[in-house]
Amino acid sequence: MALTDVLEYKSKIRRTLITQEQISEKLKEYGELISEEYSGKPLLLVSILKGAFIFLGDISRNITIPHEIAFMAAQSYFEGTSSSGTVNITLDIAQDISEYNLLIVEDIIDTGRTLKVIFERLKERHPLSIKVITLLDKPERRVVKFEPDYTLFTIPDHFVIGYGLDCGEYYRNLPYIAEYQE
Ligand code: IMP
Ligand code: MG
């Protein structure tokens, strides 16, 4: 159901967990790191929609070497705010990826299920290399073994919103990351 009550909307934003300034600093640091690591190599950033759309835009603008972008979408099924386990790829990359170094750009790794499926699927298509950068990691929640190559922030087990991350499709536009008031 559409949420139109601004007071109700605001009351669910419990507290700021990561500020815009903290995000900007990390973006700069990781933008430089990636620019060095992939210098002289064909780089394709693969963003997982919808949650990673803002992170993709910002990390891309902090990378100073030539690179391309592509999008994938996956649907994990949720029971409330915890993943129930099924992952469907609803949007795939059409282009040949065998000539590229892939860097998967993800918003958050929670149980690890979504990324594990996407990672294996892309690996089958033999890219030159494949790595993962995630904005957030909640290692306490892991159900399947999955380690990202780059993590901007490790956070405790609490549902978060903002900077692309949603609750019921809302709050993606918050410029910072906040804890959601259940
Ligand atoms: P997975 O459990 O690692 O497969 O994560 C699946 C997806 O759940 C992530 O890509 C997010 O879109 C979403 N998700 C997990 N934790 C949170 C959260 O704290 N806030 C918003 N979305 C989340
Ligand atoms: Mg996601």
Q: What is the CATH number of the domain that holds 147?
A: 3.40.50.2020
Residue 6 lies in a domain: no
Mind listing the pLDDT tens digit of every residue in the chain (182 residues)? 688 899 999 999 999 999 999 999 999 999 999 999 999 999 999 999 999 999 999 999 999 999 999 999 988 765 555 555 578 899 999 999 999 999 999 999 999 989 999 999 999 999 999 999 999 999 999 999 999 999 999 999 999 999 999 999 999 999 999 999 98
Please say whether the beta carbons of 62 and 27 come within 8 A: yes
Overall domain count for the chain: 1
Is 61 a domain residue? yes
User: Model-level pTM?
Assistant: 0.94
State whether the beta carbon of 112 lies less than 6 angstroms from ligand 1. Answer: yes
Residue 58 placed within a domain = yes
Residue 10 belongs to some domain of the structure = no
Cα 103 to ligand 2 centroid, rounded to whole Å: 15
Structural domain boundaries, residue 60:
42-77+87-180
The residue whose CA is least distant from atom 5 of ligand 1 is 110
Q: Checking DSSP bridges between strand 82-91 and strand 68-79, what pairing results, if any?
A: antiparallel
Query: Are the CB atoms for 160 and 179 separated by under 8 Å?
Result: yes
In a domain, 13, yes or no: no
Flag whether 35 is in a domain.
no
Q: Specify if 26 maps to a domain.
A: no
In a domain, 34, yes or no: no
